[in-house]
Amino acid sequence: MTADDRNVILKTSMGEIKLELYWNHAPKTCQNFTELAKKRYYNGTIFHRIIADFMVQGGDPTGTGRGGTSIYGQKFEDEIHPELRLVGAGILAMANSGPNTNGSQFFLTLAPTPYLDGQHTIFGRVSDGMSVLKRLGAVATDSQDRPKEEVKIHEAVVIA
């Protein structure tokens, strides 16, 4: 298996989401995501933030939205490409707290979010499991956008 043909399946409590990774555009980000998956870093974590018609966010082992580290240490730089844009549902991007603050957290879009273009590294898309993502986006949340009932990533599996 070479670096540019590895993808990831998120086995969630609501079903499976297969992610095609954009190795040609964001190799460092894809490497981070797959290495964390191989280390079982995402296994048992929750989607801690869900906003209907916007996005679902996960990848924080603390479940707070404030945790998580990369394979490179604490944070790493963005890999922004103008030809990659948040044009619809199912786009995979890194969550961050400003430029060059990528760690382990990621989000999947539920709708176009053009106002975020150029602010987040886009590194993949949902290739199978859009119905699961849509169901994830429809779960009941509290006033802090946290799901009222936990939605988990049981396992993140790297595949060819």
CA distances 42 to 10, 12, 19, 116, Å, are 9, 11, 14, 24
Q: The dihedral of CA 60, 18, 81, 31: what is its sign?
A: positive
DSSP assignment of 76-140: B-----TT----STTEEEE--SSTT-B-S-EEEESS--GGGTTTS-EEEEEEE-HHHHHHHHTS-
Report the distance separating Cα 119 and Cα 96, nearest Å. 9
Known catalytic residues?
Answer: 49, 54, 57, 96, 107, 116, 120
